Amino acid sequence: MTSNLIVYLIAIPLLSSAVLLLSGRKANKWGHLLGTLASASSFGVGAYLFTQMLAQPTEERAMTQKLFSWINVGSFNVDASLLLDQLSICFVLLITGVGTLIHIYSISYMSHDLDRRRFFAYLNLFIAAMLLLVLGDSYLNLYVGWEGVGLASYLLIGFWNQKPTYATAAKKAFVMNRVGDLGLSLAIMIAFASMGTVSFAGIEEAAPKASTTTLTAIGIMLLIAAAGKSAQFPLQAWLGDAMAGPTPVSALIHAATMVTAGVYLITRSNFIFDAAPTAQLLVVIVGAITLLFGAIVGTAKDDIKKALAASTMSQIGYMILAAGLGPVGYAFAIMHLLTHGFFKAGMFLGAGSVMHGMNDEVNMRKYGALRKFMPITFITFGLGYLAIIGVPPFAGFYSKDMIIETALNAGGIKGILLGSAALFGAGLTAFYMTRVMILTFTGTKRWDDEAHPHESPILMWLPMAILAIGSVLSGFLFTRGDALVHWLEPVVAPHEHGEHSELLPPIVVSGLALTIVLIGISIAVMMYVRRPVADVAPENVSALTKIVRQDLLQDVANEAIFMRPGQALTKSLVTIDEKVIDGAVHGVGAMAIGSGSELRKTQTGYVRSYSALILVGAAAIVLGIWVITQ
């Protein structure tokens, strides 16, 4: 089935972005409205296409649209084609839906910013790039969107680039993403070299015939790419610093766009990973490490946005873990992604709302007792909180529970390890999210007198409220009759029931998870409700806490492993350049100058000395002839 509407999903925000960037200051008055309208129109198109898909039988729901023939070199043909299937539409609706809510929120949040029009242009660009990423029908098309997302995130994280640290954060995000991008480009190259095609359909067809080694190589490269974009171990370091961007950006990056790209990539490449068990194993390992890493880092963060960022890292770890479990997990990865999109966006917007009322203070130790001052924010944030820690019947419960269950049932020692990691992560999540709630909304007030906490305007709390409703209901809706699992079946290989023996019955797993969550909550309550909270982070803490506060030394490790040797290499190269290459260059110059100043002495300007030289030359020629004709 083809549809001519797909391109408008991308074109509308892209065009709007161009208009906003090019139209100059006179667009300041209506720029934000145009941006929001563009995003909303894109959502409208997506929703319409979704209804069209629903009207079709399961097997005919995927839609394609060929835009133009992009590359046509010999046997290498790539069309700029768009593919809208059951997987893409989930992302399209998430990106445009949550994206639109964030746009609405930003109208108010950024109202005091002189550059609001540029901000909306970047937001639209971000949406367009992300849509291109999920709608491309080949890895090459995906790559274009992939790089566009990288660019847009760079522009947005560094939006307030007048602050050098923010600019550095943007650069850090961009550079670490480049590492992942390299993985993706290598994966595309390997795929082309071994299979001669880069389209999803072509590779899916060719994958069974390709060697396991090739597929493993592609899989590992794709994993690196996903790790870069989704902030997974070991490329996770940029995510925390990315909080430098305005809060709506954080919401957009963490909920709807950017970090979900890695999960999309792995899910989309299911045909590769299913045939490459080694790569798949690496995926789950990366997912498991990251989910624990993020959760541990989250326990020590006093900055509300960084705590949420750590939680995102952890939640994406869950998704990657699920995606790495193979056909049984893809659907749950996507489900968790969607529910997470709701509650994380809601919480980020909530955090933004809190900051809005607290003079942009981000230190939770300076909050406290805000429940009375911003009730709507408290309620929406609280609903998101209940969702993320996995309390039934909120959305997170369904999706996370499924992942834990699937991990446990992965079989053998692997299943036990992954399952325990997921369970432990759930406990940690409960702990640090409870900590965030307690520090921010309950207890005693710890803020300065200058702060005048107040509820945010309707343009801000309305999106939060909508997202909160999503956080409550989405999980329940997705799992009704395995709706999402069946919806995705045509794209990802079908869920084979009964293949693995269940380690524990589902009800026991849920009980176990809830118990652990309760333990996490109780510890947090004991630590932060029973004891007074210092408004300055205590210094006399254990070495472990200190390490955790430094993001488990991720920056230290990066600096030690990559930056210092890189700097040393650069320094030595500079030395070589200065001494050897410049020496040679300058030496040649000095030689020319020296020989020139010597030769210059022969240039007396006297005609007679020149004629003497001619005479000597003539004598030399005669001598040459004399010798030759000897």
Partner 1 sequence: MINYALDLGQTAKPEAVLFYILAPLAVAAAIGMLTVKKAVHSAILLAWVMVTLAIFYIAQDAAFLGIVQIVVYTGAVMMLFLFILMLVGVDSSESLTETIKGLRWIAITASVGFGGLLISLLGRATLGRSTAGLADANSNGNVEGLAQLIFSDYVWPFEVISALLITAAVGAMVLAHHERTVKRVTQREQSQARFRSGSLAAAAGLPGPGVFALHNAVDVPALLPDGSPAPSSISATLKARGDMLDSAQYQLDNNDNAAEDK
Partner 2 sequence: MNSANYLYLSALLFTIGAVGVVIRRNAIVVFMCVELMLNAANLSFVTFSRINGNLDGQIVAFFTMVVAACEVVVGLAIIVTIYRSRRSASVDDANLLKR
Q: Taking CB under 8 A as the rule, does residue 4 contact partner 1?
A: no
Q: Taking CB under 8 A as the rule, does residue 618 contact partner 2?
A: yes
- What distance in Å separates the CA atoms of residue 336 and residue 315, rounded to the nearest whole number? 8
Q: How many residues bind partner 1 (CB under 8 A)?
A: 14
Site for partner 1 in 588-607 (CB under 8 A): 604, 606
Q: Which does 570 bind (CB under 5 to 8 A by kind): partner 1, partner 2, none?
A: none
| Cβ-proximal residues to 9 (8 Å cutoff; 6+ apart), any chain | 42, 45, 46, 49, 84, 92, 96, 131, 135
Q: Least separation, in Å, of the C-beta of 577 and partner 1?
A: 45
Nearer to partner 2, 68 or 606 (CB): 606
Nearer to partner 1, 458 or 612 (CB): 612
x/- letters, 195..224, toward partner 1 (CB under 8 A): ------------------------------
Q: Least separation, in Å, of the C-beta of 611 and partner 1?
A: 9
Element (H, E) at 77: strand 76-84
Contact (Cβ atoms closer than 8 angstroms) between residue 467 and residue 349: yes
- What distance in Å separates the CA atoms of residue 91 and residue 370, rounded to the nearest whole number? 34
Q: What is the SS3 string spanning 436-447? A: HHHHHHCCCCCC
Alpha-carbon dihedral angle through residues 619, 620, 624, 629, given to the nearest 10 degrees: 10
Instruction: Write down the residue that tokens 């991008």 correspond to.
Output: 181
Interior/surface letters 391-406, b for 16+ CB within 10 angstroms, e for the rest = beebbbbbbbbbbbbb
Q: Which does 625 bind (CB under 5 to 8 A by kind): partner 2, partner 1, none?
A: partner 1
Q: Compute CA distances 226 → 127, 141, 274, 424, 533, whole Å.
A: 19, 16, 16, 24, 38
Nearer to partner 2, 534 or 612 (CB): 612
- What distance in Å separates the CA atoms of residue 51 and residue 537, rounded to the nearest whole number? 52
Q: Which does 607 bind (CB under 5 to 8 A by kind): partner 2, partner 1, none?
A: partner 2
Residue 473's CB is within 10 A of a number of other CB atoms, namely 16
Q: ∠ CA(114), CA(347), CA(10), 5° rounding?
A: 60
Q: Taking CB under 8 A as the rule, does residue 529 contact partner 1?
A: no
Instruction: Write down the residue that tokens 């194993």 correspond to.
Output: 281
Q: Which does 603 bind (CB under 5 to 8 A by kind): partner 1, partner 2, none?
A: partner 2
- What distance in Å separates the CA atoms of residue 378 and residue 344, rounded to the nearest whole number? 14
Nearer to partner 2, 507 or 607 (CB): 607
Q: Taking CB under 8 A as the rule, does residue 608 contact partner 2?
A: yes
Site for partner 2 in 568-607 (CB under 8 A): 603-607
Q: Which does 626 bind (CB under 5 to 8 A by kind): partner 2, partner 1, none?
A: partner 1
Stretch that binds partner 1, among 186-194, 402-410, 574-582, 608-616 (CB under 8 A): 608-616
Q: How many residues bind partner 2 (CB under 8 A)?
A: 10
List contacts with partner 2 (CB under 8 A).
603-608, 611-612, 615, 618
List contacts with partner 1 (CB under 8 A).
604, 606, 608-609, 612, 615-616, 618-619, 622-623, 625-626, 629
